[in-house]
Amino acid sequence: MTAPDLLPALRRMGLAGPGETPRFTALTGGVSSDIWRVDLAAGPVCVKRALPKLRVAADWQAPVVRNLYEARWMRVAAGIVPQAVPALLGQDDAAGALAMAYLAPEDHPVWKAQLRDGQADPAVAAEVGRRLVRIHAATAADPGLAAEFPTDGIFYDIRLEPYLVATAAAHPDCADALLALVETTRATKRALVHGDVSPKNILIGPQGPVFIDAECAWWGDPAFDLAFCLNHLLLKGLWRPESAGQFLACFDALAVAYLAGVDWEPAAAFEARAARLLPGLLLARVDGKSPVEYLTDSAQKDRVRRVAKPLLLAPPNRLAQIRIAWAEELSL
């Protein structure tokens, strides 16, 4: 299906008039979806359509119905922190596509790009933590939302299996620990989870951080979101070693801000789950189905393994334990 084939969907969503022929411009950055800027008579919008097979080296299939749940996540999050999500303009089941406000890169840079360039501001990281925990806390207080996100199978297929299960196959000595993380995560049902809180999916706009790409939306364990994001702040210390100390300051700021907002369960219990997940996710980003693209050197990957594997085998209860081990590895 080519971009113009989405024109009927735009008309069904009420965004394109019957005689209108908008211009489609493909946008880069998506491995799981096709994304376009669409210039309509009323102005530009962003249209996203889920792919049945992700653009990675491994054979990674995922149901396109996840587009529907992404749209639902956006609606819920907008009701809690409106400035933290693009405005949802429509969703079309038949095309597996959604339309949202187009956020120009000039005033909504990607956080990953800023981190790459050494712009690692702990105040930005803290606000990411505050907004994320507000969404988790508000949804934890509304358990009726669980019925709108029957996505256990999708979350397993596009998060738990390619990350933790695949990594268990690559590391038999850590398999029991990794598979135990899978079972604990699957069984923990607390709040609405984004599932892909990564710096590449966070825009830094004039009103603060904006979360995008909630294709993995799931009613489950919010500890996954926190661990997933903190993981990237650690790994980027290998990508940009000159900024590693600043990334660790961002790690601290995000974790502290987030944990201060945990009110649906004891914060210590929550932190323990996040701390135990984090080494598994560290290892998964070098040996799972979706390795980070910026760590290509075998020596870098070995450093990740050297930190992650002992922590998997002797699980920590505090995020600070992982931060300390990583700082020691980086000689900070």
Tokens of 120: 């690692």
Indicate whether 13 pLDDT > 90: yes
Indicate whether 53 pLDDT > 60: no
Phi, psi of 55 (to 5 degrees): -85, 70
- Which residue do the tokens 């587009």 mark? 67
Confidence of residue 310 (pLDDT cuts 50, 70, 90): very high
Question: What does the pLDDT read at residue 108?
Answer: 97
* Mean pLDDT (whole number) for 150-170: 95
* Mean pLDDT (whole number) for 277-292: 96
Phi, psi of 59 (to 5 degrees): -80, 100
Q: Among candidates 137, 42, 161, 127, which has minimal Cα distance to 90?
A: 42
Confidence of residue 1 (pLDDT cuts 50, 70, 90): very low
User: Three-class SS string for 104-154?
Assistant: CCCCCCEHHHHHHCCCCCHHHHHHHHHHHHHHHHHHHCCHHHHHHCCCHHH
Least confident of 31-35, 74-78, 146-150, 241-245: 31-35
* Mean pLDDT (whole number) for 275-281: 98
- At residue 318, the 3 state secondary structure works out as coil
Q: How far apart are CA 182 and CA 154, in angstroms?
A: 14
Question: What does the pLDDT read at residue 67?
Answer: 87
pLDDT digits (tens, 9 = 90+) for 195-228: 999 999 999 999 999 999 999 999 999 999 999 9
Percent with pLDDT over 90 in the chain: 83
Q: Is-above-0.85 flag for pTM?
A: yes
Length of the chain: 332
Helical pair 267-287 and 244-259, crossing angle rounded to 10 deg: 140
Confidence of residue 56 (pLDDT cuts 50, 70, 90): very low
* Mean pLDDT (whole number) for 253-268: 98
Confidence of residue 65 (pLDDT cuts 50, 70, 90): confident
Mean pLDDT of the chain: 92
Domains of the chain listed by start with CATH number: 3-101 (3.30.200.20), 111-329 (3.90.1200.10)
Question: What does the pLDDT read at residue 57?
Answer: 46
Q: How far apart are CA 304 and CA 232, in angstroms?
A: 12
Confidence of residue 188 (pLDDT cuts 50, 70, 90): very high
Confidence of residue 31 (pLDDT cuts 50, 70, 90): low
Indicate whether 32 pLDDT > 70: no
Percent with pLDDT over 70 in the chain: 93
Confidence of residue 267 (pLDDT cuts 50, 70, 90): very high
Highest mean pLDDT among 1-10, 11-20, 56-65, 251-260: 251-260
Indicate whether 181 pLDDT > 90: yes
Which residues, in sequence order, are bridge partners of residue 75? none
Indicate whether 24 pLDDT > 60: yes
Q: How far apart are CA 11 and CA 26, in angstroms?
A: 19
Indicate whether 64 pLDDT > 70: no
Indicate whether 4 pLDDT > 70: no
* Mean pLDDT (whole number) for 233-240: 96
CB 37 within 8 A of CB 25: yes
Distances in whole angstroms, Cα of residue 133 to Cα of each of 150, 151, 226, 328 = 22, 21, 9, 29
